[in-house]
Amino acid sequence: MYDVVISGTGLYTPPNSISNDELVHSFNTYVAQFNAENAAAIEAGQIQALTESNAAFIEKASGIKSRFVMDKDGILDPRRMKPRLPERSNDEWSILCQMGVAAAEQALQRAGKSAADIDGVIVACSNLQRAYPAISIEIQSALGVQGFGFDMNVACSSATFGIQTACNSVKLGQARALLVISPEICTAHLNFRDRDSHFIFGDAATAVVVERADLATSEHQFEIVSTKLLTTFSNNIRNNFGFLNRTADEGEGKADKLFVQEGRKVFRDVCPMVAELVAAHLDESSLNVRDVRRFWLHQANLSMNHLIVKKLLGRDASVEEAPVILDSYANTSSAGSVIALHKYQDDLPKGALGVLSSFGAGYSIGSVILRKK
Ligand code: COA
């Protein structure tokens, strides 16, 4: 068995950002158009008038101020309200591959490694753009990595589940190093016409090099002390998009083929589960929660993160202890906690303990205890 480290992390941030004001302006234009076009039916009580969204509500309820997106114009066009991402020929790299490669190149650079040092690619994310061939195998080819690749999906927890999977392979000597890549185009599965959720997602990609400790040379190493995962079934975050959709004509175009959630219930269910899992994980590892310098948490909702850390520490956490990236990225699903790790790690001294934790649909929760080397 080998000791395992994260030796480099990488981030791809899309070039365009949408503020709450811009998003709400587009939404409210759509609402005005809808209500005007359906005035007679609304008057007759046959359909309900739509209600406007509000930028102040969004920031207060979620902590989100803006989000990076792969296509801004398509989302903000009130007649369209979805990104425009044109099809590419099979001879071009796919868009998820392109984002993943950009994040992977930075992770390799920070790890001080090249494609020749990597024995495989795991793409771990919420939404894969096709059934096959696997995006990971395409990324392998684009980077020039030998070995194997496979895709896996555990929604928002995909990256931590991917890190455990990679860690175990490296520990067993099946690979010297693996890349865990999380390209997320969350705006493509977000219903921008749904007032309750139109603000919650953004796009980004992250990458992590998981490497044998005795081979790692970078200055950015974290020992993977331990990993712990949990899943428990819930319908409160659900997306029924899938290959069987075309066989059920009655479901075509329905809202459940995009992201749907019961936000309040998710909040209520998930916060205690995460706090309990992380506390148990630290306890099993004979570590004291008070010795944890940093919590890189999933980035969905600021109040959720405040509550989770408060349950763990018995007091409010500072932004140094629980860094926030959702204010400018929104929820980027599996990429969120890794973005926090990527952006907020270089100030930590040797020996500092941190917990990377994801949570989301499934429900799924991941906890990765890291120690700065
Ligand atoms: N603009 C203005 N008002 C809005 C609104 C909008 N865009 N969306 C909802 N509201 C209103 C509602 O109509 C409701 O009004 P009422 O009290 O008069 O009935 C009120 O705001 C509260 O709505 P609610 O949906 O209960 O808001 P919330 O406080 O739960 O916040 C979320 C919504 C989505 C921000 C929050 O539930 C959340 O983030 N949950 C966790 C989700 C999560 O982590 N998901 C993981 C995804 S992977």
**Is the alpha carbon torsion for 299, 301, 302, 307 positive or negative?**
negative
Rg for the chain, CA atoms, rounded: 21
Q: Where are the beta strands (DSSP E) in 164-305?
A: 177-185, 203-212, 222-231, 237-238, 260-261, 292-297
Mutate to test the pocket of ligand 1, among 196, 259, 306 (most ligand atoms within 8 A of CB): 196
d(CA 102, CA 207): 9
The whole-number pLDDT of residue 304 equals 97
Q: Indicate the SS3 state at residue 195.
A: coil
* Inter-CA distances, 39 with 24, 43, 52, 80, 310, Å: 22, 6, 16, 21, 48
3-state secondary structure of 301: coil
Reduce the DSSP state of residue 2 to 3 states and report it: coil
Angle, CA 14 vertex, CA 8 and CA 15 arms, to 5°? 125
Q: Is the dihedral of CA 290, 330, 100, 90 positive or negative?
A: positive
Per-residue confidence in pLDDT tens, the chain, 373 aa = 999 999 999 999 999 999 999 999 999 999 999 999 999 999 999 999 999 999 999 999 999 999 999 999 999 999 999 999 999 999 999 999 999 999 999 999 999 999 999 999 999 999 999 999 999 999 999 999 999 999 999 999 999 999 999 999 999 999 999 999 999 999 999 999 999 999 999 999 999 999 999 999 999 999 999 999 999 999 999 999 999 999 999 999 899 999 999 999 999 999 999 999 999 999 999 999 999 999 999 999 999 999 999 999 999 999 999 999 999 999 999 999 999 999 999 999 999 999 999 999 999 999 999 999 9
The residue whose C-alpha atom lies closest to atom 39 belonging to ligand 1 is 301
User: How far apart are alpha carbons 257 and 242 in whole angstroms?
Assistant: 8
The atom of ligand 1 lying closest to the CA of 54 is: 1
Q: What is the largest CA-CA distance in the chain?
A: 73
Distance 30 CA to ligand 1 centre (A): 19
Protein residue with its CA nearest to atom 12 in ligand 1:
196
CB 111 within 8 A of CB 211: yes
Domains in the chain with CATH codes? 222-372 (3.40.47.10)
pTM equals: 0.97
Active site residue: 97, 125, 156, 186, which one? 156
As a whole number of angstroms, the distance between CA 235 and CA 361 comes to: 8
Q: Which atom of ligand 1 is nearest to the CA of 300?
A: 44
Q: Where does ligand 1 bind, in terms of residues with CB under 6 Å?
A: 53-54, 57-58, 61-62, 156, 195-196, 200, 237, 261, 263-264, 266-267, 300-301, 304, 331, 360-361
Residues 71-87 as b or e (16 or more Cβ within 10 Å = b): bbebbbebeebbbeeee
CB distance 238 to 191 below 8 Å: no
Cα 53 to ligand 1 centroid, rounded to whole Å: 11
Tell me whether residue 271 is one of the annotated catalytic residues.
no
- Asked if 209 contacts 143 with a C-beta cutoff of 8 angstroms, the reply is no
Centroid of ligand 1 to alpha carbon of 42 (angstroms): 24
Q: From atom 26 of ligand 1, which residue's Cα is the shortest distance away?
A: 264
In this structure, which residue's CA is closest to atom 13 in ligand 1? 196
Rounded Cα–Cα distance for residues 299 and 278 (Å): 16
